A = this chain, B = another copy of it.
Amino acid sequence: MIEESKGVTIMRRADELARHTEAPGLLTRTYLTDAHAGAAGLLAEWMRDAGMNVRRDAAGNVIGRYEGLTPDAPALLTGSHFDTVRDAGKYDGNLGILLPITCIAAWRRQGRRFPFAIEVIGFAEEEGVRFKATLLGSRAIAGTFDTSVLDKRDDDGRTMRDVMADAGFDANALRAAAFKPENALAFIEVHIEQGPVLLDAGLPVGVVTAISGASRFLVAAIGLAGHAGTVPMTLRRDAAMAAAEIGLFIEKRCSSISGLVGTVGQFGVPNGAANVVPGKAVFTIDIRAESDGVREAAVRDVLDEMKNIAARRNVTFDINQTHEAKSVPCADWLQDQLDSTIAGSGLPVRRLPSGAGHDAMAMAALTDVAMLFVRCGNGGISHHPDETMTAEDAETAASIFSRFVENFAPRR
């Protein structure tokens, strides 16, 4: 019998796992729904098949442990989330669970064990769709779960606490889900890039330097509405053009430094009409960088430029900060071991920041973290059914991950 390659297994299982969905014809799997329970069961089955002992914690995380050469050895942690956004891609999160399971299955067939255990964690919740709170699974394990979110309600008006109880999970036991730092050697998360950098560079994998910090603002530009025909250009206080100007400033300012990005994702003129000079425009600003200093300098410059534009155009900007998160660096020693593994495979080493948030962000509160990004097809699209990757890249990533683990040297 010809053994299926790891890459093919991973792709096949991603398809199988995607059948557990709340919405026929597309993939939506939010926290503690029936689809979520089905996916958890399937992951547990594959973990057991790979020789792991499987448990579920109070948050609903699915945790498989592949013992080391000695019992109770500290563990190298890996994994990602198996909840999804609405109308999601199949690989976001899921890849980071399926890939280690497949590698462990191979070691088990070879009878191979290491001086450390490996724990594969299927995080029950990362996307924040159902309760508008993110990273629930990894926060439970990192011991940073904010119990105030238990009172949040889903669209049906049910609290998270009640939903957990109905699904058989005890919110009061969440504290016990936290791992002990001394039992964790590191956390490495394999994840589809969800962007076009590796695709553009022609590389199957990349090493994440940091999960970028982010500053987000909701801004209203207030000018004066007027008749598009009767108000001369020199007498206008056009709110939309003030917003356009700061948008282009953000774009230019953030283009000057690699690893810095700035986006005006929402932009609208409320009740705008073709023949009315906009008196109001509402827009968002999202600025991210792997370096907090770089991000903070960009934010300062943007806020300064808004003052200039406001003065010059006789408009006001009503600025509300809606989000602020510091950068979470990946550990140098883990990046170095990933670099060596990739270089040892004959591939160019590419480091890149992660502009999106991941479970590794929360896990950094528990232990040193690293991330291996896998090339995303289709222009880098994600959070969308068009999200795609190849079996070849899955195979390459599985090979890199396997060698990384086989050569893993815990920090002294």
Contacts and interface: CB of A to CB of B under 8 A. Distances in A.
What is the oligomeric copy number? 2
Contact of A264 (B241, B254, B255): B241
Contacts of A2: none
B227 A195 contact: yes
Contact of A194 (B227, B262, B288): B227
Interface stretch (A98-106, A182-190, A229-237): A229-237
A246 to B, nearest CB: 9
A250 to B, nearest CB: 9
B258 A265 contact: no
Interface stretch (A25-33, A135-143, A166-174, A376-384): A376-384
Interface size class of A (residues with CB under 8 A): 35 or more
Interface stretch (A38-46, A107-115, A278-286, A395-403): A278-286
Interface string A353-388: 011110000000000000000000001111100000
B227 A355 contact: yes
Nearest to A253: B233
Contact of A232 (B258, B278, B381): B258
A68 B406 CA distance: 109
Interface of A is mostly: mixed
B278 A265 contact: yes
Nearest to A355: B229
A228 B195 CA distance: 9
The 3 A-B pairs with the shortest beta carbon distances in the complex, nearest first, are A229-B355, A195-B230, A244-B244
10 contacts: A195-B227, A195-B230, A196-B230, A227-B355, A227-B356, A231-B380, A233-B261, A263-B277, A267-B272, A268-B268
Interface of A: 193-197, 200, 212, 214, 216, 218, 224-235, 238, 240-241, 243-245, 247-248, 251, 254-255, 258, 260-269, 272-278, 281, 284, 286, 288, 322, 354-357, 379-383
